Structure 1
Amino acid sequence: MEVTAGRPALDGVRVLDLSRLLPGGFATVLMADLGADVIKVESPDGGDYGRLVEPETFAALNRNKRSLVLDLRTPAGRETLLRLVERSDVVVESHRPGVLDAMGLGYARLREANPRVVLCSLTGFGQYGPYASRPGHDLNFLALSGFFAVPHRPGETVDRVGLRIADLAGAMYAALSTAVAVTSARATGQGQHLDVSLHEAAAAWAAPLALPLRAPADPADSPLVTGDNDLFTTADGGRIALATFEDKFWLAFRTAFAAEFPELDDDAYDRRAVRTKARVRVRELLDGVFARRDLAWWSAALSGLDLPWAPVYETADAFLADAHVAARELVGTLPGSATEEPRRQVRFPVLFGSGLDSLRAAAPGHGEHTDEILAELDR
């Protein structure tokens, strides 16, 4: 695997990925994008069932990796894994607590094989505690995290979003913490066990906004709940995201459109504190204004103003057609393989001055690199 220039941060780091589905897959694809040799260890019976759920998503979560089939239920499979651990920096797993120990592959055993190894255990609720053995998915972790305690509009129940927030947040903490732990292990010669909880990751994201809401009788009284920082529906059913949080933006917006919409020719809400207190009235005012013109009209009228606004993209095609996305080359084409067609994917979302080609290799076929990896053990 080559990059366009320089050496990616994790070049020379080997990761054994025993995880499945979104959280582990996203954590390890971040490492793979950054140059790590990620070996996806899969069972003989079809491997990661993410392959069967949504091929496009699986392809995005497993690019730049190699696939090795091992049956860890057998002594031979476990022996082979331990031989790989001797030559690896990281093991990532997403089993429930105790599963690896029961297989004879817990951290104590891995450390015997390689004192420098970092074991990253990515679970719903962590390795201990009352909920540790519970099954769960993203929605459960969010429900317990404080995510739904942060209101966005007065009088409305907070609902879920389509993105798997807890899964992705936990994966990012896992990747960051693993990179730090590998650096430490190389300096000290000692690895460690990372206990990553998806629930706790979601709580860490929610806490800065949720915890201050303990005092108000009504959480919607939060100064972050406003009437002018929201989505507004246009005459043709399109949506505009307007975020005039600062006074200067509100003033610029209302003065620019006061001639077209006389109700905006009113300085009563020019101060943030006043707009926040009158959040319901401000929202009703803007709802009425935006509903009188279609999305194309608003987009043309707003495009020349220095305002925080955006059309709401509600399809992937709209996102792909965006001029800024094109200018930044945010989406590229991943090469195809024997089992994968070339696919359009979003690159690693940081531009390195020394260069980074994160769209290097397609997601591997099930067991595609088994012979290659096993042959490396004999060198």
Structure 2
Amino acid sequence: MTNESNGAGTAGAPRKGALSRFTIIDATRVRAGPTAMRLFADMGARVIKVEIPPGAPGGDDMIGGRDHNRADYENLHRNKESLTLNMKDPAGREILHELIRRADVFIENYRPDVKHRLGIGPDALRAINPRLVYASISGFGQDGPYANWPGFDSIAQGMGGLMSVTGKPGEGPMRVGIPIADLCAGHFCAMAILTALLEREASGEGQWVQTSLLEAQLAMLDFQAAQWLVDRKVPEQVGNEHPLTVPTGVFATQDGYLNLAAIGQTMWTRLCDALGLEDLARAPGYDSDPARVANRDAVNQAVSEVFKTRTTKEWTEILLKAGVPCGPIYGIDEVFDDPQVRHLGITWPVDLPGKTGAALLGQPFRLSRYPREAAPRLAPEQGEDTQAILQELGYSDEQIEQWRKAFVV
């Protein structure tokens, strides 16, 4: 184990990937932190997942556990190693310190006060290794009036404004169908860690990087936030439509639904030509984006009637040929059969017992000099790598067995 560049795994086999020179100690759970670490593990970094030993007080029963949902556990924790370690025990903290001396990154997502009570806060660990990048994900920030509130995705979606602009008008706030605050917090944390590692090349020192579910959700508001912060306009729910351009959104066809994005006058004119509504393109009340927004219902009604006359596939071919952005709307069971999705190769075949044809989602980017491995390492069983990691640190089998009996590891 090293924070130089040999990238050795616990069994001594060389690690591959663009980030193989980095070692990360992962003390996160649930989703945001594991999402951040998934990127590093997939890119070849050595990610050692620290878990509470079986039988030790304070075991983890949070969602995403191995027994609770094996599919999601594999999704979040492939390519990682698992070390059981009780950081509340002084002996456990000593083991952690040995890991920290050799690590590049330590990441946690406890409530802000917990790490300091355990004696594993950024000052304590960076005193052991000044080059360490210490990363924290919280619900609402490391300080402030809500710092110790428990952080959950749906709460962040509500407090971050997303639910107020999601859903149809008049139907009340609506949660997005994926854990977007968790996921974005994880991705932003990964970006922050990479930024700190790049900065370390110049300064020689690590630093403490932070993000939160609330900040991540606020960042994702994007132009809706700008509407308020700049123009003092409160964005409203518009369902599947776009608040600033018409017609966009979902339209029923002869056999299903079509997603349409006819943004701007040029696209509107092309759409009208394709639908046989040429006279409508420049008619008063239809001849500009602001005019169409003001007459949203009439515009949508006019195009809706025509869309019902053909199938989704037929309209997709007609509109794309006309240069109008559109596409089908898939169920999850249809997404991965799409020829373009298959061509992109974003799924990662895995051999899971009893799961014929199982696959995991890969990373949504590729590097030309680091092709993806043929198959990921499956998510480790709890403590699967404990013995090897502790031996690597120089501890004897006898000492390790004593720690097991005491629930230290």
Same fold per superposition (TM over 0.5): yes
State how far apart, in whole Å, the 1-side matches of 2:357 and 2:394 are.
Answer: 33
What percent of counterpart residues are identical? 34
Q: In structure 2, what is the equivalent of residue 371 of structure 1?
A: 387
Deviation per CA, 1:158-204, whole angstroms, max 9, x where unpaired?
52211111111111110011111122234323221112111011111
Amino acid at match of 1:321: D
**Aligned runs of 1:196-275 on 2, under 5 Å?**
196-213=211-228, 215=231, 219-220=235-236, 224-236=243-255, 238-258=256-276, 265-267=279-281, 268=283, 269-275=286-292
Amino acid at match of 2:223: P
Q: In structure 1, what is the equivalent of residue 349 of structure 2?
A: 333
Q: How well do the aligned residues superpose, as a CA RMSD in angstroms?
A: 2.9
Contact 1:69 1:370 in 2 (8 A): yes
Q: CA deviation at 1:146?
A: 2.6
Give unmatched runs, 5+ long, in structure 1: none
Q: In structure 2, what is the equivalent of residue 278 of structure 1?
A: 295
Contact 2:275 2:306 in 1 (8 A): no
Q: In structure 2, what is the equivalent of residue 64 of structure 1?
A: 79
- Equivalent of residue 14 in structure 1, options 20, 23, 32: 23
Contact 2:253 2:312 in 1 (8 A): yes
- Equivalent of residue 348 in structure 1, options 351, 363, 384: 363
Deviation per CA, 1:319-360, whole angstroms, max 9, x where unpaired?
110000111212231355x99987312221112121231653
State how far apart, in whole Å, the 2-side matches of 1:339 and 1:195 are.
Answer: 40
Farther off after superposition, 359-368 or 174-183? 359-368
Contact 2:133 2:196 in 1 (8 A): yes
Task: Go from structure 1 to structure 2 and tell me whether the alpha carbon gap of 1:28 and 1:144 turns closer, same or farther (over 3 Å shift).
Answer: same
Task: Go from structure 1 to structure 2 and tell me whether the alpha carbon gap of 1:54 and 1:370 turns closer, same or farther (over 3 Å shift).
Answer: same
Contact 1:86 1:113 in 2 (8 A): yes
Amino acid at match of 2:29: R
Task: Go from structure 1 to structure 2 and tell me whether the alpha carbon gap of 1:216 and 1:291 turns closer, same or farther (over 3 Å shift).
Answer: farther
Task: Go from structure 1 to structure 2 and tell me whether the alpha carbon gap of 1:123 and 1:139 turns closer, same or farther (over 3 Å shift).
Answer: same
Contact 1:154 1:225 in 2 (8 A): no
Task: Look up the SS of the partner of 1:21 in the other structure.
Answer: coil
State how far apart, in whole Å, the 2-side matches of 1:335 and 1:311 are.
Answer: 31
Give unmatched runs, 5+ long, in structure 2: 1-6, 9-14, 396-409
Q: In structure 2, what is the equivalent of residue 32 of structure 1?
A: 41
Deviation per CA, 1:24-47, whole angstroms, max 9, x where unpaired?
110000111122100001111365
1:177 aligns with 2:177: no
State how far apart, in whole Å, the 1-side matches of 2:355 and 2:109 are.
Answer: 26
Contact 1:333 1:345 in 2 (8 A): yes
State how far apart, in whole Å, the 2-side matches of 1:235 and 1:340 are.
Answer: 36
State how far apart, in whole Å, the 2-side matches of 1:220 and 1:120 are.
Answer: 35
Q: CA deviation at 1:56?
A: 1.2
Farther off after superposition, 191-200 or 81-90? 191-200
Farther off after superposition, 149-158 or 58-67? 149-158
Task: Go from structure 1 to structure 2 and tell me whether the alpha carbon gap of 1:221 and 1:34 turns closer, same or farther (over 3 Å shift).
Answer: closer
Q: How many residues align?
A: 369
Task: Go from structure 1 to structure 2 and tell me whether the alpha carbon gap of 1:342 and 1:121 turns closer, same or farther (over 3 Å shift).
Answer: farther
Q: CA deviation at 1:311?
A: 0.7
Task: Look up the SS of the partner of 1:206 in the other structure.
Answer: coil
Q: In structure 2, what is the equivalent of residue 193 of structure 1?
A: 208
Q: CA deviation at 1:157?
A: 4.5
Contact 1:334 1:343 in 2 (8 A): yes
Task: Go from structure 1 to structure 2 and tell me whether the alpha carbon gap of 1:54 and 1:225 turns closer, same or farther (over 3 Å shift).
Answer: farther
The normalised TM-score by structure 2 is 0.81
Q: Quick one: higher RCO (CA 8 Å, sep 6+), 1 or 2?
A: 1
The normalised TM-score by structure 1 is 0.87
Farther off after superposition, 17-26 or 179-188? 179-188
State how far apart, in whole Å, the 1-side matches of 2:206 and 2:355 are.
Answer: 36
Farther off after superposition, 28-37 or 290-299? 290-299
Q: CA deviation at 1:17?
A: 0.5
Amino acid at match of 2:129: N
Amino acid at match of 1:275: R
Task: Go from structure 1 to structure 2 and tell me whether the alpha carbon gap of 1:216 and 1:100 turns closer, same or farther (over 3 Å shift).
Answer: closer
Task: Go from structure 1 to structure 2 and tell me whether the alpha carbon gap of 1:220 and 1:145 turns closer, same or farther (over 3 Å shift).
Answer: closer
Task: Look up the SS of the partner of 2:67 in the other structure.
Answer: helix
Farther off after superposition, 82-91 or 322-331? 322-331
Q: CA deviation at 1:101?
A: 1.2
State how far apart, in whole Å, the 2-side matches of 1:295 and 1:342 are.
Answer: 29
Contact 1:42 1:48 in 2 (8 A): no
Task: Go from structure 1 to structure 2 and tell me whether the alpha carbon gap of 1:183 and 1:7 turns closer, same or farther (over 3 Å shift).
Answer: farther
Q: CA deviation at 1:149?
A: 4.5
Amino acid at match of 1:373: I
